[in-house]
Structure 1
Amino acid sequence: MPADPTPTTLTAEPGSSSKAHFPLDAKFPVYAIAWTDDSTVLLAGGGGSSRTGVKNRISMYSVDPKKRQLSLVTEHELSKEEDAPMTMAFDRTAKALVAGINSSADQLKKGVNENLRVFSYDEKSITYEKRKQTFTSVDPDHYQANPALPFARLHRLTSIRNSQKVTAFSRSTPPLLAAGSTDSQLSLVTYPGLEDVLPTLQYEKEEIYDADFDDSGDMLVGTSSNKLCVWSTKVADKEATPEPLQVIERPVLKKELACTFRAAKFGRAQTAFNLYTVVNASPATRVRKPPAGSQKAFVSLWDARAWKLLKTRTVSQKPVTAFDVSEDGTLLAYGSSDLSVGILDAVTLRPILTVLHAHDFPVTSLKFNPSASILISGSADNSVRVIEVPSPGQRGGNSTTYTVLFTLLILILAILIQMTFGEDLLRVARSVL
């Protein structure tokens, strides 16, 4: 079946949603999102190696929220014999794009899966550069769906069991590159050389769900369902088996609930010393209809210097499937399997915006643009949603702003009292305050 051509413009239907956000039909399952600049976004996905007629691709679009549309700039079509790109990361300085793509079935039978694919890009093109296999185990006979896609078997939108699950660039110079797999392996390599920095990190038969670097690039956190491991990227002996700097075990709420990690990301800029974790809770034993309140997801804020838990907020009554931190460190975004997308204040964890039915299927990926003015989410239902993020003035301020304003108010009040009523009344006022 020949693939359908990619539309040059995606435009929201009139009256399709509120003024602050709108859905668009991307015409292909979207698994990964990245921004090259404030108004240019990359969407990656496709139909995999199935004969659905949906080609695998990485598409670059210009974003115009006022016109409520995306315009195609360029597209790189990928092999229809291989898996769709399931994860993607980029380095803006090097203009480098790295995607996780499984090799063809024939290559997998030979024990080869060159999962790490490197591309370069400019304003008009995306160019393939090279590839590398970063994990050692290849099993073509077992498949596992993306956790955000419980319906994947019906549509054959599956990924190879031992596939690249997460890709992350550090913000250091030169950058480092991390790749985590469904087969318990986390790799750390240099860029552009793709040389091993550490021996492959093993997670004891646990799928790697997320990986992220701190702002300096000195620490890497890798997330599996049962634990978070924080690793130093500065090593003297590249052959020695490294020990983690910190291990955070999954929380235990109640015996009847099983908690698992879904994501962990460091803060940025003003929140650089924070670590944000996402935990999904569900009944410890399988039940056909889970009782009310037995499923939920919560986001926690940690001090990444003292490794101390500071605060936690429940964000959804269903598991979270995607998570992001804005580049300025002020905002968090999550997608839930209840089909919603939410934005939180990164300091207080206070909800700022929630889109209740963002997609027809759970969110597979979401990403803020560099200025955190736009958030785009994607799903395997062939849709993306463009969300205009409320400006700082529209958010009602964060805890720091409230503290400053309250302090100024108290000082002004104290001065007025002193000028009007004298020291005796001021002492009484101070005792009350």
Structure 2
Amino acid sequence: MAPTRRPSDGLLARVNFPLYAVDMLTSRHILVAGGGGSSKTGVANGFEIYELYHNGSHFCAEEVLRHETGANVVMNFAVRNGGRRAYLCAGQEAHCQMYFVQPRIECEDEALAEGKKPAPVERPHENGVRQRGAGAAHSGVESLPNGHNNAPTAADVLKQFRRLQFDIQAADVVQTDFLKNAEPLQRVVRISGNGRLMATGGTDGQLRVWSFPQLTMSAQLPAHSKEIDDLDFSPDCKYIVSIAKDAQGLVWNLETGKLQHKLQWQTPEGAKYLFKRCRYGTVEAHKDNYRLFTIANPLGKVGKQRGYLQQWDCGTGQLRASVAVDESLSSLAVRDDGRFVAVGTMFSGSVSMYIAYSLQRVLHVPHAHSMFVTGLQFLPITNEEGPPISSDTEAAVLSISVDNKVCIHSLAQRRTMPAWLAIAFMVAMIFIVFVLCSYIGI
């Protein structure tokens, strides 16, 4: 049985609107988005950015920026870091709105010169949420688990005076869905790993590929007969996979614009299943060697039911491995090095983590949320935009839900046999085999 949640894991932040999308803006900044829609309910629409850190015992998050988007709820987005600034492409109804996210460093003395109040003292609570209190600026000295304060380092002192902030500016917008006789809606947007292409899909079933960041359409494929639920680019940027409510999972060749193969599998008892999410994952951090993962749920059943996490052969489109889960699945994430996969559930709001190559479950967090999990994102370990967060965990995944919560779930370092012990064991086994062979005269 997989271990359950670490005692220090759980709630990172609570937002006052339902959450639908999550990603890492930098190696240590979380971007979440959602909202209540255009109806006059008083529920906001927009983005939240949090800075994440580990204080030696658990993860903590601090709010950095809130950006509201008026009447437009953000149901999906994609982020591309361009060095000096990041590009944020957000699905807002039938359109894709691009934003420029410009980082800047705010100095404490500049804030005081402008008449701003010093940053409030942030005390890490036991559940990981920073508790705000009026007072002096944050000192950068974190409390250790034993209650003693660690001596401030140069980085701690620098953090007292300099802090990374972000400015969000609206840029180009394009219509990406053209459903007739009903309201069009963009369901998904993805940006290729090389940053040259963007793909969108929505209710009209058309897969549209755009040049990026110019946002000019380069291809339109009549991929599906029903609305597209998810897309993903392969790590080598040669293929794109699309899944939709027509029960089809299709892999397309981006160079030719033709269908490469279909994802086909023998469903249990001949029942009809729909793919829900799809993600590629690298193997040993090599972009030319990768796996494809999907989650699938049975169609037309209500209540608790079996969903599947699946791994596919990218060359043939044949199912390589699968594992059943005792309820429908709602979200999927793969870590940037391809070692771990995470899934979120529809009814119980649970989160599970698996070893990618074997689909062995290594972590299970029951009832992580009070409602279905809308998004998952692993903390990066190979991020090009800065060093990853140092912690005592082997892997950690963020989860969001329409319950307005941002949570984190981490896998403790698993015990492995030391190298010297493995060598000693092998030498002992060779000696035993040699003695046994000599005894029986072989």
After TM superposition, give the deviation of residue 127 of structure 1 in Å: 1.8
Matches within 5 A, 1:340-379: 340-371=350-381, 373-379=395-401
2:260 equivalent to 1:245: yes
Equivalence for 2:173 = 131
Does 2:20 align with 1:20? no
Amino acid aligned to 1:211? L
The verdict on how the C-alpha distance between 1:192 and 1:23 changes in structure 2, with shifts beyond 3 A counting, is closer
TM-score, normalised to structure 2, is: 0.73
Q: Deviations over 1:150-169 (max 9, x none)?
A: xxxxxxxxxxx521111111
Please, which of 48, 56, 64 is the counterpart of residue 53 of structure 2?
64
Counterpart amino acid of residue 334 in structure 2: V
Partner of residue 258, structure 1: 272
Shift of 1:346: 0.4
Conserved in 1, the CA contact under 8 Å of 2:264 and 2:317?
A: no
- Equivalent residue of 2:17, what SS? coil
- Seen in structure 2, the aligned counterparts of structure 1 residues 56 and 17 have a Cα distance that, compared at 3 Å, is farther
- Measured after TM superposition, the shift of residue 423 of structure 1 is 4.6
- Structure 1 match to 2:213: 192
Report the Cα distance in structure 2 between the residues aligned to 1:78 and 1:163, rounded to whole angstroms: 17
Q: Does 1:44 align with 2:33?
A: yes
Return closer, same or farther for 1:417/1:214 CA change in 2, 3 Å cut-off: same
Aligned pairs for 1:110-125 (under 5 A) are: 113=94, 115-123=95-103, 124-125=166-167
CA shift for structure 1 position 222: 0.4
Counterpart contact for 1:250–1:260, Cα < 8 Å: no
- Report the Cα distance in structure 1 between the residues aligned to 2:420 and 2:351, rounded to whole angstroms: 31
Query: Which amino acid counterpart does residue 62 of structure 1 have in structure 2?
Result: E
CA distance 1:130–1:319, change in 2 (3 Å): same
Percent pairwise identity: 24
Aligned to 1:12: none
> What does residue 311 of structure 1 align with?
321
Cα drift, residue 101 of structure 1: 0.6
The two structures, once aligned, show a CA RMSD in angstroms of 2.9
Per the alignment, do residues 23 and 138 of structure 1 end up closer, same or farther by CA in structure 2, a change over 3 Å counting?
farther
Deviation (angstroms), 1:126: 1.8
User: What secondary structure, in the 3-state scheme, does the structure 2 residue paired with 1:183 have?
Assistant: coil
How many Å apart are 1:215 and its aligned residue? Answer: 0.7
Query: Is the contact between residue 24 and residue 383 of structure 1 (CA under 8 Å) also seen in structure 2?
Result: yes
Alignment correspondent of 1:213: 233
Deviations 1:281-312 (A, max 9, x none): 25x5x67xx6x7xx211111122123332211
- 1:28/1:383 contact within 8 Å kept: no
Q: Which has the higher contact order (CA 8 A, sep 6+)?
A: 2
Residue aligning to 2:158: none
Alignment of 1:32-431 (within 5 A): 32-66=21-55, 68-80=59-71, 82=72, 84-93=73-82, 95-102=86-93, 113=94, 115-123=95-103, 124-137=166-179, 139=181, 142=182, 161-172=183-194, 174-204=195-225, 206-225=226-245, 226-235=247-256, 242-249=257-264, 251-255=266-270, 257-270=271-284, 272-282=289-299, 295-314=305-324, 316-337=325-346, 338-371=348-381, 373-387=395-409, 389-390=410-411, 393-394=413-414, 411-417=426-432, 420=435, 423=438, 425=440, 427=442
Cα distance 1:190–1:96, how it changes in 2: closer, same or farther (>3 A)? same
Residue 197 to residue 356, structure 1, CA distance change in 2 (3 Å): same
Residue 357 of structure 2: SS of its match in structure 1?
coil
> Compared with structure 1, are the counterparts of its residues 377 and 423 closer, same or farther at alpha carbon in structure 2 (3 Å cutoff)?
same
Q: Distance in 1 between matches of 2:102 and 2:425?
A: 53
Q: 1:251 to 1:408 in 2, by over 3 A?
A: farther
Provide the C-alpha distance between the structure 2 equivalents of 1:426 and 1:320, rounded to a whole number of angstroms.
59
Unaligned runs of 5+ in 1: 1-15, 103-112, 143-160, 236-241, 428-433
Q: Secondary structure at the match of 1:329?
A: coil
The whole-number CA distance in structure 2 between the counterparts of 1:136 and 1:319 is 30
Letter in 2 for 1:219: Y
TM-score, normalised via structure 1 length: 0.74
- Confirm or deny: 8 A CA contact 1:331 1:346 kept in the other structure: yes
Residue aligned with 1:342, SS: strand
SS in 2 for 1:41: strand
**Matches of 1:134 and 1:405 in 2, distance apart?**
58
Report deviation, 1:425: 4.8
Query: Is the alpha carbon distance of 1:71 and 1:407 closer, same or farther for their aligned partners in structure 2, counting shifts above 3 Å?
Result: closer
Gaps of 5+ in 2: 104-165, 382-393
Compute the displacement of 1:92 (Å).
2.2
- Separation in 1, partners of 2:252, 2:16: 39
Structure number with higher strand proportion: 2
Instruction: Give the conservation status (yes or no) of the 8 Å contact 2:190–2:232.
Output: yes
